[in-house]
A and B are shown apart, each in its own frame.
Chain A
Amino acid sequence: MIRLEKRPSPSRTVGMLTPVLAVLLTMVAGSVLFAILGKNPFLAIKTIFYDPILGEFAFYYRGQLLVKAGPLILIAIGLSLGFRAGIWNIGAEGQYIIGAICGAGVGLAFYPADFWFIFPLMVLAGAAGGILWAMIPAILKTRFNTNEILVSLLLVYVAEQILASMSLGLLRNPDGAGFPGSRNLKQYEAAANNELIVGTGVHWGVVAALIAVILAYVLLNRHMLGFQIRLTGESPRAARFAGVRPRLLVVFCLGASGGLAGLAGLFEVAGPAGQISIDFNVGYGFTAIIVAFLGRLHPVGILLAGLLMALTYIGGEAAQATLGLPAAAIQAFQGMLLFFLLAVDVLTNYRIRIGRMEAA
């Protein structure tokens, strides 16, 4: 009989090992999946995990790694603050879209002027857009006690409609021969978020992600607000007793995660994506949820998890291209990662005992 026994204290060692275990389990289950699809599982795993870093074309992929990891980390850091406190912002994708629209809108409004402050202003507008979009679930929750999971999630679809309308209407490139999508910001120097060091993939969004990691670490470990966030997640009643004001915390956590998601959107639209278009968003806001949990809601863990997740994206694309794996298989592979992570998570607080079951 196998049973679970609660540990007297949560194990820190196991807590750090579970993500590694989850990655290994995902590789095993993924291999089975790829084998069933008729592909060589070892080659597939090598293509996803090894080639982008050390393979023949790694010089190209390495830059892509930071381009993908940057927004994932930036969004996941914001989400992790709320998740720590039990405030579930599932709608980062929507905040990302609105941040991008607001930021790009400000930049395009100045076109073709050339002022030094245009890009900083776009950054502020991107953050503000994300914050405002996140304030909708925040205010509905604090005023009317609605569920922030549902409201933030549904607002993603509203944001997608706005995105479509913007690319077809207000922000459409007047010189674009009627094609949907805005002007390309990469070709507008004052508003472009270009690579800071050529060939590395490092743009302002990657820098912002690193700063966010450091700030989140300081907040959670050294600041009263971070302590209140952790306390609320651990034990809401004790938090109330300790003087935490729950509504304020809801507004702060949703605002912070919305703001960072908005920033990620702005850096993406002004850099790698270049323009507002109907299919501008590619699911970073949802993948960041996986990244946040894979990183144990810990800033440094999220940094590593973001890089890993970016790797599966790039390696997955490579596997699609070279091995002909279907895109759905890669998505299933990424989904397995979260599934196994949550499954082995239980080991942090419980240990497995093999032995006879006690009556009662």
Chain B
Amino acid sequence: MTEALLTIEGLTKAYPGVVANDDVSFRIAPGEVHALLGENGAGKSTLVKMIYGLVRPDAGRMTFGGTAFEPATPHAARATGVAMVFQHFSLFEALNVAENVALGMEDPPPQRQLARRIREVSETYGLPLDPDRLVGDLSAGERQRVEIIRCLLQDPKLLIMDEPTSVLTPQEVDILFETLRKLQAEGTSILYISHKLEEIKTLCDNATILRLGKVVGECNPREESARSMAEMMVGTTLHTPSRDEKEPGEVVLDLAALSVASANPFGTSLRSIHLEVRSGEILGIGGVAGNGQDELLAALSGETPAPPEAIKFCEQEIGHLGPNARRRFGLLAAPEERLGHAAAPDMSLTENALLTGAIREQLVAGGFLRWPQAQGFAEKIIAAFDVRTPGPANAARSLSGGNLQKFVIGREILQRPACLVVNQPTWGVDASAAAAIRQALMDLAAEGAAVIVISQDLDELMEISDRFAALNEGRLSAPRAAKGLTVDEIGLMMGGAHDMEVAHVA
């Protein structure tokens, strides 16, 4: 076995009430792409923060290149040769690429020299990037390149990447993977954090799996199936959502040239969207974040008004109606943002059940609230969707993301919608809760409801959709049967590489 670049032995970090990392050990060899797998809350972030000098471990030790490694600050970690690309970019939109890169450097060279270095590095690694462009004009994929190049200029020996593909189209992912392989060939090690198991199978040499802060397994992802790795992450056998094939029924929701100008200057306007959803059918809508997903949900839920004829529900014009009038018809929605949009954080689950259930569950009589019935409805959701909480009197914000999401989706499903629109139904939700939510959506469709699932998780959409369409800059592609769609075709529907030049790796 070759000398390891980074060894981690017995790292432990406890926060009040929770052990984030418990005796974690693994090693990364030079030139190895090592995956760190785990559900939300498994302790991945705490672990990489310790490696990057943001958090100090309570116990355990690390060695880097054979010597003891105890970074007290990110500065010390960078000096040793560790670089990190965060999931959320820290870039200034009003500055150009070179200026942004300079801001992240310890000792930036003069602008012109830096611009030349950026060009060199970007060509070497197949990441074309013009140092003079404003970051505000760049796509998400190009912004990520800025972060990566900022790291590469430090000549790192270990590059940490936290969920790098969540904002990329499949084509952009391919470009990124080319770059990472080239880095690997040069001997740079990569610690790759993701929950997308197919990506890990294609890219990584080894994987360490964390569950509840402990290492529960190591594996070679190329020899495992995505399912077996998911089960190691969750610790139980996963139930794959399934349903019987059925012919779709009547058209329930019909959008004809729906255009909505965004109220927010940084939002995306919807442009002439056409779509039809039939009862018993799940329509999956994919697309990179920020291409009109929130706006589409708001237009369908009734939060943003539209011309009456642009939205037809069972042949009635409803575009001008507000959320409650649409609920009366049976058009329900579950937005992406759980806290603050789908639910009020400081209100109890009973009050949150009332939030959308007042009309269809008859929780109001003559303007007066029927608290016992509202509590009963909340209890019904908690029981039917296995929401882990001491009771309906607890505040929404005290629930974990997965449990609150089950509550939010369950609240709509139990109201027997004729059409349900959900945005990111399993975002930030653990694998077993995600499987339960997907199954519930498929059951709902099997019972004859029309379902629209807006999601950035393509695997999810391919798993549950009958038809697939993609949002790109506020336009919706023509829906196509999901069965048999290739990743390339999906990528092109999502806008391809967003005008990024495809790299030619030297």
Q: Which A residues contact B (CB, under 8 angstroms)? A: 8-10, 222-225, 227, 230-231, 234-235, 237-243, 245, 358-360
* B355:A10 contact, CB within 8 angstroms: no
Given contacts A238-B343, A239-B344, A243-B327, 15 further A-B contacts (CB under 8 A): A8-B398, A9-B395, A9-B398, A10-B346, A10-B395, A224-B364, A231-B347, A235-B345, A237-B337, A238-B340, A242-B358, A358-B55, A359-B55, A359-B73, A360-B49
The one of A225, A238, A243, A359 in contact with B344, judged by C-beta atoms closer than 8 angstroms, is: A238
Of the A-B pairs whose beta carbons lie under 8 Å apart in the complex, a sample of 17, sorted by A's number, is A9-B394, A222-B369, A224-B367, A224-B368, A224-B369, A225-B367, A227-B351, A231-B347, A234-B344, A238-B340, A238-B344, A238-B355, A241-B335, A241-B355, A243-B324, A358-B55, A360-B54
Contact A243 B323 (CB under 8 A): yes
Binding site for A on B (CB under 8 A): 15, 49, 54-56, 73, 301-303, 322-324, 327, 333, 335, 337, 340-347, 351, 354-356, 358, 364, 367-369, 371, 394-395, 397-398
Residues of B within 8 A of A359 (CB): 54-56, 73
**Residues in A neighbouring B343, C-beta threshold 8 A:** 238
Q: In the docked arrangement, what's the CA distance between A230 and B303, Å?
A: 19
| Contacting pair A242 B355 (CB below 8 A) | yes
In the complex, A358 Cα to B56 Cα: how many Å?
8
Q: How far is the CB of A359 from chain B (nearest CB, A)?
A: 6
Minimum CB–CB distance from A310 to chain B (whole Å) comes to: 31
A241 touching B342 in the complex, CB below 8 Å, given contacts A227-B354, A231-B347: yes
Q: In the complex, are the beta carbons of A360 and B344 less than 8 A apart?
A: no
B301 touches A234 (CB 8 A): no
Name A242's closest neighbour in chain B (CB-CB). Answer: B355
- A241 and B368 in contact (CB under 8 A), knowing A234-B347, A359-B56, A360-B49? no
- Given known contacts A238-B343, A243-B322, A359-B54, is B369 in contact with A223 (CB within 8 Å)? yes
**CB <8 Å contact, A231 and B369:** no
Chain B residue at smallest Cβ distance from A226:
B369
Complex Cα spacing A45 to B340, Å: 45
Best-surrounded residue of A223, A227, A241 (most CB of chain B within 10 A): A241
Given contacts A8-B397, A360-B49, are A238 and B341 in contact (CB under 8 A)?
Answer: yes
Residue numbers in B under 8 Å from A239 (CB-CB): 344
Which residues on the B side are within 8 Å of A223 (C-beta)? 367-369
A235 CA to B355 CA, complexed, in Å: 11
User: In the assembled complex, how far is the CB of residue B372 from the closest CB belonging to chain A, in whole angstroms?
Assistant: 12
Partner of B341, one of A225, A230, A237, A245: A237
Q: Which residues of A contact B344 (CB under 8 A)?
A: 231, 234-235, 238-239
Could you tell me the distance in whole angstroms from the C-beta of B433 to the nearest C-beta in chain A? 19
- Residues of chain B lying within 8 A (CB to CB) of residue A235: 340-341, 344-345, 347
Known: A222-B368, A224-B368, A360-B54. Contact between A241 and B346, CB under 8 A?
no
Closest 8 CB pairs of A and B: A243-B324, A243-B323, A360-B54, A9-B395, A235-B344, A234-B344, A8-B398, A238-B344
CB distance B342 to A238 under 8 Å?
yes
Residues on B with C-beta less than 8 A from A230 are: 347
Known interface pairs A9-B397, A227-B351; A241-B54 also in contact (CB < 8 Å): no
Residues of B within 8 A of A8 (CB): 395, 397-398
Bound form: Cα–Cα A234–B369 in Å: 18
**With the chains together, A222 CA to B368 CA distance in Å?**
6
| B367 surroundings in chain A (CB, below 8 A) | 223-225
Residues of A within 8 A of B303 (CB): 240-241
Give Cα A359–Cα B398 distance, bound, in whole angstroms: 25
A360: which of B55, B346, B347 is its contact (CB, 8 Å)?
B55
